[in-house]
Amino acid sequence: MTTRSEEELIQWIQNRDWPISRRVRLGIGDDCCVYRATRDRELLVTTDLLVEGSHFSLDTTSPEDLGWKIGAANLSDIAAMGGRPTAFFFSASFPRDEQGFFERVVVGLNRILDCCETPLAGGDLSSGSSVLFSATVMGDVPKGKALLRSGARPEDGVFVTGTPGFSGIGLELLRSGFRLDNEDGLIPPGSNKATVRMPDRKIEFLIKHLRPVPRLEAGRILRKSQVVTSAIDTSDGIAKDLRQICRNSGVGAVLEKESLSRLATRLTVRLEDILCGGEDYELLFTLPNQAEETVLNALSAQGEFPPATRIGRICAEHPGELRLLDGENRLPLSVDGFDHFN
Amino acid sequence: MTTRSEEELIQWIQNRDWPISRRVRLGIGDDCCVYRATRDRELLVTTDLLVEGSHFSLDTTSPEDLGWKIGAANLSDIAAMGGRPTAFFFSASFPRDEQGFFERVVVGLNRILDCCETPLAGGDLSSGSSVLFSATVMGDVPKGKALLRSGARPEDGVFVTGTPGFSGIGLELLRSGFRLDNEDGLIPPGSNKATVRMPDRKIEFLIKHLRPVPRLEAGRILRKSQVVTSAIDTSDGIAKDLRQICRNSGVGAVLEKESLSRLATRLTVRLEDILCGGEDYELLFTLPNQAEETVLNALSAQGEFPPATRIGRICAEHPGELRLLDGENRLPLSVDGFDHFN
């Protein structure tokens, strides 16, 4: 394979088929991207840094899946606010001799941006000894309507979409040596040939970990309901993410073991997978009890994702902390998740 | 010094005194920043990745200067389009035991954002074996008024602001072992004490390299003049940056050796410093001859920076290429600058 110059590589990226948005008046190629906002909408901006070793391992992830995941993780932050993604900025650093690898990452990113109709609007390339990526996504939302982490109120129910816990189990499977082949067949540890095809639980877990789908449509439904009081996407596990809502809203939360256990049984996962598994990119949200049926029905009607499940409720007591309601007991829940510096 | 957890570190950053903008309705702390655009302005977005070894060396740069430069380099892209910066996003990865270093980088970034009245609106922190930063800046500009690289027309004059070449000489001095102390005194190679104080040429060169000031006010003056046909900030040397204008505008350019030599003499630098030195973050722009006087006067009147100098002109011939006019000869100019992948 030929090595491209920096300019040629940028040209190669530009020439791919990316979604187009009229918001991006001028994309790649000048000092800045020129972006057209409208009066009735607010902009959302989120940024992520992904470093080999800390955020991903090239031993267990294909370059295409990595590109997909970088896109999905950032688009998920837009989903959590009920927004629509409108422009993606992608920067990368990698060793000079790894261009082939990088191009496959771009292919994966292209796929998820296509799915989410989000144009690539800029970025920056660099050579360097380690592999790392930085992504910034812009989105928009009707003015004043963004779903925030800060509006949860006592007595609100706590809900989560889809299949929390799947991604964490997928990661465990990767660590035990399971892989997917190009057609998503399951390659067992020590083998190099897929022996199992869909439908299969292990394959589902792996796909959820490798190619999560941001809950953009669910986020928009929640926002349009006008009754959702707070929302966050689950990247660090439900316990840690719910604590973020509690801290931002100045409230406490009670997770109900009975509901969690029912969900765990339905999903065939363990309770701790649901509570502590990271990188699910589901939406965790709160709303008043009387609105529960309407909102859950709206989510189910959409049909593109498993409906949401009630798992607890907000309370005025112990602000910033979680309790697990187990029968009559309220056990304090430890929420030590991943900390980059401890 | 105590090591902070990720949360405490974010809190520490948030608690610093950052400029405030009413554009940023919600900054650090939720899934996205919520940004308020207005109907009559377009947004500018630019992003940069800076990797130790490729973009900076911790042997020759203090953490504070590094933070300053990360800010300045990105704000300079907003200046090149005639915009006003409105929100800064800063991500960093560094080894766990380097928090003290990182905090000093933030102090430097704080200084330049203060100078340019730009709020810190978000970011991402990670631990990792190498040191790297990613920055994204948003700015705005009246609708349709951004200075682009693509409008240069034959017969337009080519101009550059300030002191092109200074930064490259500063870099050479650093490589030869010169340093600045905390009060910008000059420490000669092999010594650890400053022997020279301002005013001094070497100190000027070093300061230009270590703490460039983005030409935001100059960019706004150029944009308001409504006659500037193209602009770019000089990060890769005038030759390479002018070629960008030529390629984007579908024109060629002739650099006049006589004007360049006069400028070099005035600045006490060599011709090649002006043509090839990188990281000056000056503005390179084009405009019709009849507007020259008005625009140069407007720049001089502002007074905060050295006035702009005419160095050549745009031509219809040899699109995308540069010639050096030396007496009667037109020599093809090679513009091989820095390429990350060759």
Which SS3 state, helix, strand or coil, does residue B291 take? helix
State how far residue A325 is from chain B, nearest Cα, in angstroms. 27
Interchain proximity B3–A342, CB inside 8 Å: yes
Q: What confidence category does residue B1 fall into, taking pLDDT thresholds of 50, 70 and 90?
A: low
Check B32 against A124: CB less than 8 A apart: no
- Per-residue model confidence (pLDDT) at position A131: 92
Please, is B218 exposed, middle or buried when counting C-beta atoms within 10 Å of its C-beta (0-12, 13-18, 19+)? buried
Burial class, A143, CB count within 10 angstroms (exposed 0-12 / middle 13-18 / buried 19+): middle
Pick B37's closest partner by Cβ from A34, A37, A92. A37
Cα–chain center distance at B267: 19
CB B148 within 8 A of CB B248: yes
Is the model's pLDDT at A167 over the cut of 70?
yes
| b (16+ CB within 10 A) / e for A50-86 | bbbebbbeeebbbbbbbbbbbbbbbbbbbbbbbbbbb
| pLDDT over 70 at B304, yes or no | no
Q: Smallest Cα–Cα separation from B174: which of B5, B337, B56, B328? A: B56
pLDDT at A1 over 60: no
The mean pLDDT of A257-262, rounded to a whole number, is 95
The model carries a pTM of: 0.92
How far is it, in rounded angstroms, from Cα A214 to Cα A3?
A: 34
Residue with tokens 């990182």: B102
Residue range A114-132, pLDDT digits in tens: 999 999 999 999 988 889 9
Angle formed by the axes of helices A63-80 and A216-225, nearest 10°:
0
Of B38, B53, B125, the CB nearest to A340: B125
Query: In the prediction, which pLDDT does B306 show?
Result: 63
Cα B127 to its chain centre, rounded Å, is 27
Res A338 pLDDT > 70: no
The pLDDT score that the predictor gives to residue A244 is 93
Distance of residue B41 Cα from the nearest chain A Cα, in angstroms = 8
The pLDDT-based confidence of A85 (bands split at 50, 70, 90) is very high
Instruction: Pull the structure tokens for residue B297.
Output: 């006067």
CA A18 from centroid of its chain's CA atoms: 21
Both structure tokens of A140: 């928009």
Cα-flanking dihedrals φ and ψ of residue A59, to 5°?
-75, -30
**Is the distance from CB of B91 to CB of B135 less than 8 angstroms?**
yes
Taking 70 as the threshold, does the pLDDT of residue B41 lie above it?
yes
What average pLDDT does the segment B67-90 reach? 96
Per-residue pLDDT of B116-162, as tens digits, reads: 999 999 999 998 888 999 999 999 999 999 999 999 999 999 999 99
Cβ contact B342–A5 (<8 Å): yes
Tokens of A211: 């190619």
CA A142 to chain centre: 22
Q: pLDDT tens digit string along B214-236?
A: 999 999 999 999 999 999 999 98
CA angle A253, B28, A120 (to 5 degrees): 110
> Nearest C-alpha of chain A: how many angstroms from B260?
25
Residues of A in contact with B25 (CB under 8 A): 42
The answer to whether the Cβ–Cβ distance between A32 and B78 falls below 8 Å is: yes
Distance CA B324, CA A198 (A): 65
- The predicted-structure confidence for B4-17, as pLDDT tens digits, reads as follows 888 888 889 988 88
pLDDT for position A56: 86
Confidence of residue B38 (pLDDT cuts 50, 70, 90): confident
- For residue B32, the chain A residue with the least C-alpha distance is A46
Q: For residue A158, what are its two tokens?
A: 């706590």
Contact B166, B109 (CB under 8 A): no
Min distance B97 CA to chain A CA atoms (Å): 8
- A303, pLDDT greater than 80: no
* Listed range (A288-302, B150-164, B285-299, B328-342) with the worst mean pLDDT: B328-342
pLDDT for residue A286 is more than 90:
yes
What does the alpha-carbon distance between residue A136 and residue A215 come to, in Å, rounded to a whole number? 18
How many CB pairs below 8 Å do chains A and B form together?
234
CA distances to A127, A213, B320 from A91, rounded to whole Å, are 11, 21, 26
Q: List beta partners, residue A283.
A: A233
Candidates A118, A131, A134, A138, partner chain B, best to mutate (most B CBs within 10 A) = A134
pLDDT at A147 over 80: yes
**Residue A206 pLDDT:** 96
Q: What's the pLDDT at B274?
A: 93
- DSSP, res B152: -
Give the integer Cα–Cα distance in Å for B168 and B191: 23
Single-letter amino acid, residue B205: F
Residue B207 neighbours by CB distance under 10 Å:
18
Considering Cα of B85, then B89, then B95, then B101, what sign does the dihedral take? Answer: positive
Mean pLDDT (whole number) for B239-249: 95
Scored b (16 or more CB within 10 A) or e, B225-263 reads: beebbbbbbbbbbbbbbbbbbbbbbebbbbbbbebbeeb
Query: Is A81 within 8 Å of B134 when comparing Cβ atoms?
Result: no
Spatial distance between the Cα atoms of B245 and B149, rounded to a whole number of angstroms? 5
- What is d(CA A38, CA A61) in angstroms, rounded to the nearest whole number? 39
Average pLDDT score over residue span A139-159:
95
Chain-chain contact of B43 with A36 (C-beta, under 8 angstroms): yes
Whole-number pLDDT of residue A337: 53
| CA-closest candidate to residue A68, choices A245, A279, A241 | A279
Question: Can you state the angle between helices B6-15 and B99-115, rounded to 10 degrees?
Answer: 30
Tens-place pLDDT, residues A23-82:
888 888 788 888 888 888 899 999 999 998 888 888 888 999 999 999 999 999 999 999
Reported confidence tier of residue A5, pLDDT bands at 50, 70, 90: confident
Dump pLDDT digits (tens) for B93-119.
999 899 999 999 999 999 999 999 999
pLDDT at B10: 87
Candidates B21, B34, B143: best to mutate against A (most CBs of A within 10 A) is: B34
Calpha distance A167→B130 (Å, rounded): 28
Contact (CB<8Å) A42/B25: yes
Residue A336 clears pLDDT 80, i.e. is over it = no
- Determine the distance in angstroms separating the CA of A137 from the nearest CA of chain B, rounded to an integer: 9
Q: Is the Cβ pair A139, B45 closer than 8 Å?
A: no
> In this predicted model, which residue has the larger pLDDT, B78 or A341?
B78
Who has greater pLDDT, B43 or B198? Answer: B43
- What rounded mean pLDDT belongs to chain A? 91
Lowest mean pLDDT among A54-58, B206-210, B251-255: A54-58
End-to-end CA distance of chain B: 42
Instruction: Spell out the residues 6+ positions from residue B315 whose beta carbon is closer than 8 angstroms to its own.
Output: B154, B155, B251, B252, B253, B254
pLDDT of residue A339: 62
- Return the ∠ at Cα B223 (arms to B221 and B224), rounded to 5°: 65
3-state SS of chain A is: CCCCCHHHHHHHHHHCCCCCCCCEEECCCCCCEEEECCCCEEEEEEEEEEEECCCECCCCCCHHHHHHHHHHHHHHHHHHCCCEEEEEEEEEEECHHHHHHHHHHHHHHHHHHHHCCCCEEEEEEEECCCCEEEEEEEEEEECCCCCCCCCCCCCCEEEECCCCCHHHHHHHHHHCCCEECCCCCEECCCCCCCCECCCCHHHHHHHHHHCCCCCHHHHHHHHHHCCCCEEEECCCCHHHHHHHHHHHHCCEEEEEHHHHHHHHHHHCCCHHHHHHCCCCCCEEEEECHHHHHHHHHHHHHHCCCCCCEEEEEEECCCCCCEEEEECCEEEECCCCCCCCCC
d(CA B126, CA B128): 6
Q: CA of B114: how far to CAs of B17, B87, B88, B106, B123, in Å?
A: 9, 12, 11, 12, 17
DSSP B110-138: HHHHHHTT--EEEEEEEE-SS-EEEEEEE
Q: Cα dihedral angle (B216, B222, B228, B232), rounded to 10 degrees? A: -10
pLDDT score, position A27: 81
List of chain A residues whose C-beta atoms are within 8 Å of the C-beta of residue B30: 81, 148-150, 248
pLDDT of residue A124: 92
Separation in Å, CA of B148 to nearest CA in chain A: 7
Cβ of B129 and A9 within 8 Å?
no
For residue B160, give the nearest of B318, B325, B320, B277 by alpha carbon: B277
| Mean pLDDT of the A133-159 span | 95
ipTM for the predicted complex comes to: 0.89
* Composition of chain B by helix, strand, coil, percent to 5: 35, 25, 40
Question: Which residue would you say has higher pLDDT here, A178 or A32?
Answer: A178
According to the model, what pLDDT value does residue A205 have? 96
Mean pLDDT for the stretch of residues B295-315:
86
Looking at residue B167, what is its pLDDT? 96
**Residue A37 and residue B32: Cβ atoms within 8 Å?**
no
Instruction: Say how far apart CA A303 and CA A319 lie, in whole Å.
Output: 35
| Rounded (10°) CA dihedral B218, B221, B227, B229 | 30
